[in-house]
Amino acid sequence: MLSEQEKTEIAAHSQHYPTARALCVEALKIVQRHRGWVSDESIADVAEALQMTPVELEGVATFYNMIFRKPVGRHVILLCDSVSCWIMGCEQLREHLHARLGIGLGETTVDGRFTLLPNVCLGACDHAPAMMIDNAHYQDLDPASVDEILAKYPKYPQEEKKEKKEPANGNTADP
């Protein structure tokens, strides 16, 4: 079942599209924001709410790399591996992250703190190499600056801030 909060957030976007189905990407992102990832159960919940079959929704969910169909850590590192960042040393950063965190691409640290994923061009090519952690962009990286950035993220779950920042809700309606 979708929570009341999830239903409210999804409904805030319903005026933007003429069909329920068109809401599905937004709905998947909302559910993922609340639940951390999109489980089979979440697929069933969203599909029911939007009058889609779970299989139809699964086809959409698995298409997008930012819809996580497997659990991820508390923070997701998205390391840009496109051409400008490759020239400027993203592979060295990947090796450094592996040495620091003990994880390769697609893996999560044993303490659940970080998941490391590759990402296509983040649009920071003049400040390569670049990465994102959750919603934050980082650029002009080297191993030392990566270490400083990682240190900003809480080591233990109990240190995480309670409320994660929610993005603004859709467009304003036609006044």
Partner 1 sequence: METPLTHNISPGKEPPDLAQYEKAGGYAALRKALRMGPGEVMADIKASNLRGRGGAGFPTAQKWSFVPMGDDAPHPKYLICNADEMEPGTFKDRLLLEGDPHQLIEGMIVSAYAVQADIGYIFLRWAYKLAAERLEQAIAEAYRHGYLGRNILGSEYSLQMHLHVSAGRYMCGEETALLNALEGKRANPRAKPPYPQVSGLWGKPTVVNNVETLCNVPHIVNHGAAWFKGLSRGDDSGTKLYGVSGRVKKPGLWELPMGTPIREILEEHGGGMRDGYRFRGLLPGGASTNFLVTDHLDVAMDFDSMQAAGSRLGTGTMIVLDDKTCPVGMLRNLEHFFAQESCGWCTPCWSGLSWVEQILQGLEEGQGQPSDLEQLRSHTRLLGPGHTFCALAPGAAEPLESGLRYFRDDFERHIREKRCPWR
Applying CB under 8 A, the residues found at the interface with partner 1 are 16-19, 21-26, 28-29, 50, 52, 59-60, 63-67, 78, 81-84, 86-88, 119-128, 132, 135, 137, 167-168, 170-172, 174-175
Q: What's the first-to-final CA gap in the chain, in angstroms?
A: 32
Whether residue 109 contacts residue 150, with contact meaning beta carbons closer than 8 Å, is answered with no
CA dist., res. 78 & res. 74, Å (int)? 13
CB of residue 64 to partner 1, shortest distance in Å: 4
Taking the least distance from each CB to partner 1, the nearer of 64 and 156 is 64
DSSP classification of residue 168: P
Taking the least distance from each CB to partner 1, the nearer of 33 and 155 is 33
Taking the least distance from each CB to partner 1, the nearer of 71 and 167 is 167
Q: State which H helix or E strand residue 6 sits in.
A: helix 4-11
CB of residue 110 to partner 1, shortest distance in Å: 27
CB of residue 158 to partner 1, shortest distance in Å: 27
Taking the least distance from each CB to partner 1, the nearer of 62 and 102 is 62
In the numeric block, which tokens belong to residue 124?
């920071």
Query: Closest Cα to residue 157, out of 116, 125, 112, 127?
Result: 112
